[in-house]
Amino acid sequence: MERHEAWLARAQSSLEIAGAKISAAVFYEDLCYQAQQAAEKALKGMLIYFKAEPQFTHNIGVLLWKR
């Protein structure tokens, strides 16, 4: 598996967790966190695919403005 594919697989995993059926014991904030993680990992995978090394950050805005 190539590096960008690994990031995209992790993004898919986080997205699956974010969309999971929930019980009363699950906090919505935790699901939102997983959705944010899915977006971040997908962006990093895309950047790596296009030969742009992503910064070590959790700021999606910074990743979107990568040049």
Query: Which residue, 67, 62, 13, 6, is CA-closest to 37?
Result: 13
- pTM of this prediction? 0.88
Q: For 50-61, what is each residue's pLDDT tens digit? A: 999 999 999 999
Which percentage of the chain shows pLDDT scores above 90? Answer: 82
Average of per-residue pLDDT across 24-44: 94
pLDDT at position 66 over 80: no
